[in-house]
Chain A
Amino acid sequence: MKILLMGNPNVGKSAFFSRLTGTKVIASNYPGTTVGFTKGQMKLGDEIAEVIDVPGTYTLEPTSKAEEVASQMLLEGDLVIDILDATNLERNLYLTLELLERETPVIVALNIWDDTKHRGINIDTAKLEEHLGVPVAPTVAVTGEGIKELVDRIPEAVSRKMPERTRDERWAAVGSIVNEIQTITHHHHTWLDHLQDTSIKPMTGLPIAALVLAASFFVIRFIGENLIGYVMEPLFEKLWVPLMMRLSDLLGSGGFWHDVLIGKLFDGEIDSFQSMGVLTTGLFIPLGAVLPYILAFYLILGLLEDVGYLPRLAVLLDNLMHRLGLHGYAIIPTMLGLGCSVPAILATRILESRRERLIAATLISIAIPCAAAQAMIFGLVGEHGAQYVVMVYGTLFMVWLFLGFILNRTVSGFSPEILIEIPPYRLPSWRTVLTKLWMRAHGFLKEALPIIMLAILAVSILYSLGVFDAIADFTAPVVSGVFGLPKEAVVAIVVGFLRKDVAIGLLAPLSLTAGQLVIGCVVLTMFFPCIAAFVVLARELGFKGLLTAIGVMLIATFAVGGLLNLVL
């Protein structure tokens, strides 16, 4: 049996899905969180049913890609759980009436039920059930309230196969139902309502946005740095390194296996950053240097997502984004890109036109440093002073603006205007925020840990075979001539294709000047996204789009790297 979860965007389908299936999925407070569809399983009596989290849709007449997907999937389902935002019944019921005209049996969940009370909304569910002719159950997916009752009533779901109506007839029907079953008492503006209005008005909203972004940056930096300084580094230095030193002695302080597992010794000691052994640097980079920033970044991003701030940022920045050939909503994939390019490129699907998706994905893969790249920036440049960190970020920001500006003028097609629903502010539940943080951190470790260790293994083998020396000699004219870096830096650039963070360990021993480190970090960030992002980019943009993105990337990297070399 196939159960479809359907409803308007941002009514809590993903939270619902997690509750039903126990499968953890990313749920956020903005429309379009789910761009693909997620499948899971739940027990229904003695049967195992397949549950599908369908992307949100306002109507079954497909007006966007997500809605096309939704109306196609409807044909395959055996049952629809239609999830409604109880605080916005009128608009949500339109889709319900459309669903009742189809063959598939329907059961209705009035979600976000807890919000109706303090919003002064009173809904007579029994009467609504009478009107619709299918079971109706109030639910709060975030806390799990009412989910069991709803599941118990699944067998009562029926197919109404109501005669097809015109759009106006449907709206009229919705209107008369709502009039009969819903009463609204006056509700006072809460402080959240006030904040909602101030944060979207330009005069107050723009300063608030600047404040939110600056505060986020500093909090992420603060958490990341302290996790590294007070937790991860001591753990490695006090516990892990002594253990590895023993292994080093056992292996006779040298030889092939020593080089692979422990790496180089500096004055007879292991240096977690530079030794480049699979068990030393290979573990320290993902766990000690990058994970703290991943945790800090996704905690803050998760909070911003769940509060519902991001769509407001989209409205405030819409003007700017239009100059880059995008509209404000592109800020959401862009922000995701500061964590990892893979989900960011996937999230460009929330943009309507191919042109926007091409521009957004290209900009993300070139000019937006992911958490791994940022860990590298902080790790390498940070100790030389804040002004160099600012230089790296400033350069990347200029590249983002400038490239977007050029792409906007050269890429054919059109970019539509913004048209999005702005969700109300909600106080995030710690459970959702922490679950999401755990999923993303776990995802990082699962994806990154093996690749980093493999990359480091490959590096030490290729080093011992002399392959890198050959590459270094071959690329010296570009690396030294154009970028002003020692020719050995090419190893970092090549390995950067596997993972950006491994480059920390490769650039660190070259004793570069602060200026060279700035160039190195900028070039590494811009030059080829890591392999995982590359694969997703190819899949999302197609062959031609990928070639465009690579072409832009190559030209931009050489131009910017060369320019920086002239200036610094």
Chain B
Amino acid sequence: MDEPKRITVRQMRAGQSGKVVHVMGGVGLANRLNSLGIRPGKRITKVSSMFMRGPVTIQVDRAQVAIGHGMAGRIVVEVV
């Protein structure tokens, strides 16, 4: 069994799933993500990312959310 690893959403591969651990820096972003259902403990899947530091699309339950590259680097997830 692989140990769970902590990486950011930015570092995830397309198609990879992980559990949100926390959102780094500032409550503002954490609050906005929270209202979209992206919160600690939630399982998310990365759908795709645009090249050249473009937005990252993730799947949360049955909704897809596009988040900026910078924000994606602040969401920490646990992947196996």
Binds A, one of B2-10, B17-25, B31-39: B31-39
Q: How far is the CA of A91 from the CA of B35 in the complex (A)?
A: 8
In the complex, what's the smallest C-beta–C-beta distance from A425 to chain B, in angstroms? Answer: 11
> Does residue A226 face the partner (Cβ distance < 8 Å to B)?
no
Find the B residue at minimum CB distance from A172: B41
The B-contacting residues of A in range 193-230, CB under 8 angstroms, are 196-197, 200-202, 205
Find the A residue at minimum CB distance from B66: A315
Q: Is the CB of A319 within 8 A of B54?
A: yes
Q: How far is the CA of A328 from the CA of B62 in the complex (A)?
A: 22
CB-CB under 8 A for A200 and B47, given A419-B65, A419-B66: yes
In the complex, what's the smallest C-beta–C-beta distance from A166 to chain B, in angstroms? Answer: 12
Q: How far is the CA of A453 from the CA of B31 in the complex (A)?
A: 52
Q: Is the CB of B35 within 8 A of A59?
A: yes
| Chief secondary structure at chain B's binding surface | mixed
Q: Is the CB of B52 within 8 A of A319?
A: yes
Q: Is the CB of B50 within 8 A of A417?
A: no
Residues of A contacting B33 in the complex (Cβ-Cβ under 8 angstroms): 419
Residues of B contacting A102 in the complex (Cβ-Cβ under 8 angstroms): none
Q: Is the CB of A419 within 8 A of B54?
A: no
**Count of A-B residue pairs with CB < 8 Å:** 96
Find the A residue at minimum CB distance from B39: A171
Per a CB cutoff under 8 Å, which of B35, B60, B69 touches A58?
A: B35
The A-contacting residues of B in range 48-80, CB under 8 angstroms, are 48-55, 57, 60-71
Contact-size category for A? 35 or more
In the complex, what's the smallest C-beta–C-beta distance from B64 to chain A, in angstroms? Answer: 4
Per a CB cutoff under 8 Å, which of A119, A315, A416, A424 touches B50?
A: A315
Residues of A contacting B36 in the complex (Cβ-Cβ under 8 angstroms): 58, 91, 419, 421
Residues of A contacting B64 in the complex (Cβ-Cβ under 8 angstroms): 196, 200, 421-422, 424
Q: Is the CB of A197 within 8 A of B63?
A: no
In the complex, what's the smallest C-beta–C-beta distance from B36 to chain A, in angstroms? Answer: 6
Residues of B contacting A90 in the complex (Cβ-Cβ under 8 angstroms): 37, 61
Instruction: List 25 interface pairs A-B (beta carbons < 8 Å), by A numbering.
Output: A59-B35, A88-B62, A90-B61, A91-B61, A197-B48, A200-B48, A200-B57, A201-B47, A202-B50, A202-B51, A314-B66, A315-B66, A318-B66, A319-B50, A319-B52, A327-B68, A417-B55, A417-B68, A418-B67, A418-B68, A419-B66, A419-B71, A420-B66, A421-B64, A422-B57
Given A200-B47, A424-B62, 5 further pairs, Cβ under 8 A: A63-B32, A202-B49, A328-B55, A417-B70, A422-B64
